[in-house]
Chains A and B, each alone.
Chain A
Amino acid sequence: MELICPAGTPAALRSAIDAGADAVYCGFNDETNARNFPGLNFSRDELRNGIAFAHGRGARILVAINTFPRASSVTLWQRAVDDAVDARADALIVADIGLMDYVAKRHPGQRLHVSVQAAAANPDAIAFYVEMFGARRVVLPRVLSVAEIAEITRETACETEVFVFGGLCVMAEGRCSLSSYATGKSPNMQGVCSPASHVAYEETALGTTSRLGGFTINRFAPQEAAGYPTLCKGRFSTAHGDGYVFEDPVSLDATTLLGGLRSAGIAALKIEGRQRGRAYIESVVRHFRRALDTIEQGSEADIVSLRPFTEGQASTLGAYRKTWR
């Protein structure tokens, strides 16, 4: 199985490859990718240099152009496709069917991956992308169990890729409007879930209060582990009581499921976190490189705690093991 690692900066790209990534995914510093955060991402020159660096070390670069173009500015997304192809990207990760059509027609030889943002969660949907646009791989949404992933992979003509570590999006990806409702900016069209421009922290004697777009979404006691300021991980008072309504602040860690995912026929494992620093990239990538190498040799992967890097200082197997069923 390939190890696909995140990079939000050229330095992170080099760190990921040095730590053992088979491929690195990254995006341009504009609205065309779903991690459009301040100070993050790649200029055209940086991408070109990053690809040359990766190819020189036998690694591949996958360029995420995985937001949905607005009707008034489709050319921004089409230009991103053209520039990524021109820079010799090994694959494009795309969510929008119009943009996939553009890739297939304008760059028919370009390898195309279906982004997790497309939320393709069944064989029929995936078959559509394969038949219509020649998609070679689909990144499956984080709402499926390992058994469901195995079934989809068996019935699918292209490769499948799944997340094994990092932030856990519990919504139908590419369709969530929680952050848009609170901030007026869209994760799906502008690449900003819980944009930092709309986040505020306030320190009081009771702890740290986090707000998004003026809405108070959580308050952490002084020593309580914290999470991202996203509405889906917010703590609210409702008629059913106080607490996390959608999901606790927690990160996915599927280290213990690597053997099962390999048996399921998965082609690639993805680490989330283009917004994270080099220290995260180096540690998490190295951990999974070792785990995969161990499994390839027929042994059990060591379970090294990645807890310090997890949201809320806690990890979960998420939907991979649907214990609530």
Chain B
Amino acid sequence: MSHSSVASGSLPTIPPLLALAIRPLPLLPLQFALGGFLSRILRRNPGLLDRLGPHRRARFGIKPVDLPFAFIVEAAPPLLSVVRELPQGLEAYVSASLANLLALVEGRVDGDALMFSRQLGIEGDVEAVLALRNAIDDARLDLAAELASLFGPLGEPVRRSFEAARDRLTGPPQEQR
């Protein structure tokens, strides 16, 4: 994978061969793990729901364009489904590469910039998507820290492993002043 600037949003995508290799994998274990992760994030960041306001019950279809599956995410109550194809009828649909989606969740790229460069697609209720984007950006989520908190004393090595994998995919965090 070639490296690019995280700020610019020009991030690498999952190689097609790798995406092909994971296509046959069962989705339920991933759904179970990510569902628990979502619940934990929402419990630790109650401001997220406040900023979602009337859209807290919206069902968001999230499609990583470089993966052979997608996610349906609901905030209240927290619910995450992993599906091969997103169904019709969800309130809103968001599509981008996995790297850009992860970077968006951590506020490492700007959503409008991704829209301008056509690396982010939105369909459905744009207001709900905007509320979600702003709520996430304000939460200052650190996925490595959130993940590490699940593993108690083993959290630190888990954190380091996740950060290494994430930085390989999305680049290191921006320079701090």
Q: Are both chains from one complex?
A: yes
Q: A residues 175-203 with Cβ under 8 Å of B?
A: 195-197, 199-203
Do B113 and A9 have beta carbons less than 8 Å apart? no
Write the chain B residue with the least CB distance to A273: B112
Whole-angstrom CA separation of A286 from B140 in the bound complex = 19
- Give the chain B neighbours of A278 by CB distance below 8 A: 107, 110, 137, 140
Min CB gap B143→A, angstroms? 15
- Give the chain A neighbours of B112 by CB distance below 8 A: 228, 275-277, 280, 309, 311
Do B177 and A39 have beta carbons less than 8 Å apart? no
Q: B residues 17-67 with Cβ under 8 Å of A?
A: 51-53, 55
Select which of A9, A197, A202, A308 is within 8 A of B127 by beta carbon. Answer: A197
Q: A38-B134, A277-B112, A277-B137 are in contact. Are A226 and B118 (CB under 8 A)?
A: yes
Select which of A12, A38, A200 is within 8 A of B130 by beta carbon. Answer: A38
Q: Using a Cβ–Cβ cut-off of 8 Å, how many residues does chain B contribute to the interface with A?
A: 44
- Give the chain B neighbours of A197 by CB distance below 8 A: 126-127
Select which of B8, B107, B128, B132 is within 8 A of A11 by beta carbon. Answer: B107
Most interface-central of A199, A225, A309, A311 (chain B CB within 10 A): A309
Q: Using a Cβ–Cβ cut-off of 8 Å, how many residues does chain A contribute to the interface with B?
A: 46
In the assembled complex, B117 has its CB within 8 A of some CB on chain A: yes
Whole-angstrom CA separation of A308 from B135 in the bound complex = 23
- Give the chain B neighbours of A213 by CB distance below 8 A: none
Min CB gap B126→A, angstroms? 4
Q: A10-B138, A199-B126, A202-B123 are in contact. Are A308 and B177 (CB under 8 A)?
A: no
Q: A12-B137, A39-B132, A279-B174 are in contact. Are A225 and B52 (CB under 8 A)?
A: no
In the assembled complex, B81 has its CB within 8 A of some CB on chain A: no
Q: B residues 108-146 with Cβ under 8 Å of A?
A: 108-113, 115-118, 121-123, 126-135, 137-140
Whole-angstrom CA separation of A201 from B138 in the bound complex = 25
Q: Which 7 A-B pairs have the closest CB atoms?
A: A39-B134, A39-B131, A9-B138, A308-B8, A38-B131, A280-B110, A196-B127
Question: Could you jot down 23 A-B contacts, CB within 8 Å?
Answer: A11-B137, A11-B140, A18-B176, A19-B177, A20-B177, A37-B134, A39-B134, A39-B135, A196-B126, A196-B127, A196-B130, A197-B126, A208-B118, A249-B116, A279-B108, A280-B112, A283-B7, A286-B175, A289-B177, A308-B113, A308-B117, A311-B112, A313-B116
Interface of B toward A, CB cutoff 8 Å = 5-10, 51-53, 55, 103-104, 107-113, 115-118, 121-123, 126-135, 137-140, 174-177
Besides A39-B138, A277-B112, 20 more A-B contacts (Cβ < 8 Å) are A9-B51, A18-B177, A19-B177, A38-B53, A38-B130, A39-B52, A40-B134, A199-B127, A201-B122, A203-B123, A222-B118, A225-B116, A277-B104, A278-B140, A279-B107, A286-B175, A286-B177, A308-B5, A308-B7, A309-B113
